[in-house]
Structure 1
Amino acid sequence: MEHSRDKPPAKPPESASPDRHQQRRQWAARPFRSREERRTAHISFFAGVGPAKPVGAEPNRHQPCRTLWVSHAVPWSAQDASRYELAVRDSHADSYDVEYATLHGPWFARLETAVLLDNLDLRPSDVLVDVGCGTGRITTLLATRCARVIAVDRSQRSLEILESRIEERGLRNVTTVLADASQSLPTDIIATRVVSVQLFQHVPSSEGRAKTMKNIAQVLKPGGRAIVANEMYGLSRRVRGAPQELDGPGILYFHTFTPRELVDLVQGAGLIPLRIRGCGIFYWTRYVGAPRALVKLDRWESNLPGASWFAKFGAIVARNC
């Protein structure tokens, strides 16, 4: 069946597949005749397959991103995108961990954590700041390996969930801080390690991303180490014609990075880039387990010239002067 250029193809029936994530993958992979139709398909994969709702409508608590086919002619500023992102974070906090595992596959989180640990070089005396900690998926794992963790996020509901986890696990070395890292971080924080996982990709402007990195550099002790992990604009996205950036009314802002962007980001904050980890092997974690073996393979693969251009997910490791 051919699709009209004037209107998007009909929404696939909800009953087509019990696996909603698989349904989205199949829908995004359908053949489209124009670049704009391909772009819209990739927006549907990220934002959710569904009809548009009026711009300015309140986010749906259960499906706040189901806003496809919106007009990009409607004014939509970085401030609008930031407010919408916070509304999505608060409304999805209770189901975030399940959604993350569904989106990335059952093994990805384990490999992600293993790569962070492999590069953080955590010591029992370290003070670590988790910038954009969310519900604490990474925070609680790192807290058992260092002296103190300061978990920073701007979503109140996410921090409430993290605090309940801290209490359940008896972690006494974790402090939560409600703050927007793109604006400022508490000036009394002095950290030897900083980690930020998939935060920068949702900061809706290059200026905001630069300021966030500078705020991280300010709390990082001289000689301290920072790791910033985000989704990359790698070969698989380029081949599929996926846009590097998704933005617009009712869409959760999403930016994928090139290796050059990551290097410029940390250098602009006065940090020294050491290496970029996370190459093509990350893509296969949906189907393959054995995180230890994959970490070793990723370590080897990351040293190959130009390997970071194949990355689907990447982590840049930087050191303060």
Structure 2
Amino acid sequence: MLDYYYEITDDVPPVLAARYKAYHYNGPGQARRSLERLGIAADDVILDVGCGTGGALIAAAEKCSHIYGMDIALRWLIICQQRLREQGVTATLVCADVEASPFPDRYFSKIVATDLLENVYSVDRTLIVLGRLLKTEGKLWLAGSNKFCLGPHPSTRLWAIGYFPESLRRRLVTYLRGVDSLRFINLISPGRIIRYAKKIGLNAHMLSPRMIVMDDEESYPASDRLLIRTYILLARLPLIRQILIWVGPAFEMILWKSPYSMESKGVDQT
């Protein structure tokens, strides 16, 4: 099903499709580590926003039973449903745009959003909605690609592409990759997210470079395996780890919903 998905997604060249598929295969193993940091408990009500092929849902099902997945792309949910069925996992799947979430406010104790903010219409509005969906003192786990990465951006494999002005970046990516694969992508950074999240009562509880787990290493191209292994080694060194937060390829963070946030007090933020 993944092969077919990328066959009908004409703006993803085969070399990138191979990397994306490896990423999805590795999803459950990667999510287990993320959920450990988030601190999943049996009584949690969990939402995976932008759930894709369901890697985090499979990992969450090992800890609790109140699991929801939401994605705007029905194609992803069809693949996700099949994967969950094969794994014997039960979860409620909803096809919806996060900015028009069908869930009531303060419904979830934990929310997972992996590579979500790059793909939404508005980063700020999405953060507001995620804050509303969280119960007071609930936690939101976010991960994304860093605009200020000095190495290859995962959507283009071009080095330091986030530093170029938009017009030049568009022409450069189109020339080198045949299509501007960043045309629908928000280039984000951890500092920008933390600053806005603080305004709406979501406080940074944890920030680190994205810590990689490779349960399905052989599915990655050989060149990627070498880069990932190098990154894993560097991310374990305290000084390098701090540098990687700001100029590394990806970051992860946990945001905690303060009981003193505007939304917790019932103030409309629209």
Question: How high is the TM-score relative to the length of structure 1?
Answer: 0.58
Indicate yes or no: 2:145 matched with 1:224. no
The Cα of 1:155 is off from its aligned counterpart by 1.0
Q: Which runs of 5+ in 2 are unaligned?
A: 1-5, 172-178, 214-222, 259-270
> Structure 1 273/194 Cα, relative in aligned 2: closer, same or farther at 3 Å?
same
11, 28, 32: which one pairs with 1:65?
Answer: 11
SS for the counterpart of 1:166 is helix
Q: Which of 62, 71, 88 is 1:170 aligned to?
A: 88
* 1:76-134 deviation line (CA, Å, top 9, x unaligned): xxxxxxxxxxxxxxxxxxxx9965145x698x657742541232111111111101111
- Please tell me whether residue 147 in structure 1 is matched to residue 65 in structure 2: yes
Distance 1:196 1:316 in 2: 10
Aligned counterparts of 2:92 and 2:204: Cα–Cα separation in 1: 28
**1:270 to partner: Cα distance:** 1.8
Task: Specify whether residues 262 and 237 from structure 1 end up closer, same or farther in structure 2 by C-alpha distance, changes over 3 A only.
Answer: farther
**1:212 offset after TM fit, Å?**
0.7
- 1:276 Cα deviation (Å)? 1.4
SS of the residue 2:113 aligns to: strand
Count of aligned pairs: 224
**1:205-241, Cα deviation, whole Å (9 max, x unpaired):** xxx1111111111111111111111001223259944
The one-letter amino acid paired with 1:168 is E
> Residue by residue, what CA displacement relative to the aligned partner does 1:180-213 show, whole Å, maximum 9, x if unpaired?
0133342266111101011111224xxx111111
Q: Equivalent residues in 2 for 1:212-251 (5 A)?
A: 212-232=126-146, 233-236=148-151, 240-243=159-162, 251=181
- Helix, strand or coil at the partner of 2:100: coil
Where do residues 82-121 of structure 1 align in structure 2 (5 Å cutoff)? 99-102=19-22, 109=27, 112-121=30-39
Match of 1:93? none
Q: What's the offset of the Cα at 1:303?
A: 9.3
Q: Where does residue 260 of structure 1 map in the other structure?
A: 191
Gaps of 5+ in 1: 1-59, 68-95
Is this contact kept in 2: 1:197–1:230, CA < 8 A?
A: yes
Matched letter for residue 39 of structure 2: D
Residue 136 of structure 1 is aligned with which of 49, 54, 62?
54
Whether 2:206 is the aligned partner of 1:275: answer yes
One-letter code of the match for 2:11? C
- Shift of the 166–188 alpha-carbon distance from structure 1 to 2, 3 Å rule, reads farther
1:282-297 paired onto structure 2 within 5 Å: 286-287=225-226, 294=232
Taking structure 2 as the reference length, what is the TM-score of the superposition?
Answer: 0.67
Evaluate the alpha carbon distance shift between residue 97 and residue 307 of structure 1 in structure 2; reply closer, same or farther with a 3 A threshold: closer
| CA distance in structure 2 between the partners assigned to 1:123 and 1:140 by the alignment | 15
Contact 1:134/1:159, CA 8 A, preserved across alignment: yes
Give the alignment's Cα RMSD to 1 decimal.
3.9
Distance 1:164 1:130, change over 3 A: same
Structure 2 partner of 1:180: 97
Task: Decide whether the 8 Å contact of 1:131 with 1:152 is kept in 2.
Answer: yes
- The aligned residue for residue 318 of structure 1 is 255
Instruction: Determine what percentage of the aligned residue pairs are the same residue.
Output: 20
Tell whether the 8 Å contact from 1:128 to 1:193 is kept in structure 2 after alignment: yes
> Greater CA radius of gyration, 1 or 2?
1
Q: How much does 1:280 deviate? A: 8.8
Distance across 2 between alignment mates of 1:149 and 1:272: 24
Residues in 1 aligned to 2:80 and 2:192: alpha-carbon distance in whole angstroms: 31
Distance 1:135 1:178 in 2: 13
Change (3 A) 1:289 1:116: same
Instruction: Give how far 1:136 is off.
Output: 1.1
Letter matched to residue 221 of structure 1: K
Matches within 5 A, 1:191-230: 191-204=108-121, 208-230=122-144
Q: State the 1:176 CA deviation.
A: 0.7
Q: What is the aligned partner in structure 2 of residue 72 from structure 1?
A: none
